[in-house]
Amino acid sequence: MSGEAHDDGRKAWLAGVFDRAAPTYDRVGEAYHDHFGTLLVAAAGIRPGGSVLDVACGRGAALIPAARRAAGGRVLGVDLSPAMVAAAVTALAEAGLAAEVTEMDAEHLALDDASFDVALCAFGLFFFPDPEAAVAEVRRVVRPGGAFALSTWGEEDRRWDWEHDLLARLDVERRAVVRPFDRAEDIESLLVAAGFDDVSCTVAQHEVHFADADAWWAGMWSYSLRGTLEQQDERTLDRLRHGAAGHLRALESDSGLPYLLSANLVRARRPVA
């Protein structure tokens, strides 16, 4: 089935959500995308002078460390959100790094076949309306023998199960996550079906903290969940915050509200023949 059939306006909606989230994306509380982006790049096998594509690059959490490792080579970041592209361009300039960033649809990469040594996708796979099409496109543009490294969220912090229950009750037309790909076997099946092999997965964990309930609420609006919250009226949003208050108090510690993040870091190879 084509990406257009899967899409039904979802891509434009999602790009808008991230455009509006971009100013505070990974900037509320303790940043974590940069942490996992660095780990993903370390696992990808990028070499100096290599060519690297970062699909759904966001603000550049993986793009920036990739540009450092591939010094002297070609590094390209693509994203569907114009505001995220602009933020990545700014971040690269502030870091003094050379890389290209442009708007592009992961399911329709306007790039030559076998033109990159390594492709990255940090926490983007679960947003694609047609992940099979996106992964097939990545395989097409990675050279034979090249690598594809991606990350998805893994097991959730059980201390925050209540948050999932509250959000699941909200009436929404669209949710940002299409398929979570939170299990290594689901990711491996997708990659193997697309023609990748030598798939390996490791799990990385990182605990972050929200300073207080207000920081948690601001954080809710700073990533893809914003798309769910924007579909609610003020009364529902007030009810959501009130329903969370007791749970948040129970989590309070000297360092704030702790949240243990688990990520699947997956690496695969495009076969030589």
Gap between the Cα atoms of 5 and 9, Å rounded: 10
Query: At 3, is the pLDDT very low, low, confident or very high (cuts 50, 70, 90)?
Result: very low
CA neighbor of 149 nearest in space, from 36, 30, 21, 261: 36
Gap between the Cα atoms of 116 and 135, Å rounded: 14
Residue percentage of the chain with pLDDT more than 70: 97
Residue with tokens 């190879």: 269
pTM confidence score: 0.95
pLDDT at residue 218 tops 70: yes
Query: At 7, is the pLDDT very low, low, confident or very high (cuts 50, 70, 90)?
Result: low
Task: Measure the CA angle with vertex 44, ends 24 and 111; round to 5°.
Answer: 75
Q: Are the CB atoms for 50 and 68 separated by under 8 Å?
A: no
Average pLDDT, the chain: 96
55 pairs with which residues across the strands?
78
Q: What is the pLDDT of residue 30?
A: 87
Q: Which tens digit of pLDDT belongs to each residue from 231-271?
A: 999 999 999 999 999 999 999 999 999 999 999 999 999 99
Q: What is the pLDDT of residue 6?
A: 55
pLDDT at residue 5 tops 60: no
Q: What is the pLDDT of residue 229?
A: 98
Gap between the Cα atoms of 140 and 160, Å rounded: 39
Q: Which tens digit of pLDDT belongs to each residue from 24-53?
A: 999 988 889 999 999 999 999 999 999 999
CA neighbor of 40 nearest in space, from 114, 125, 143: 125
Domains and CATH numbers, the chain: 3-154+176-205+265-269 (3.40.50.150)
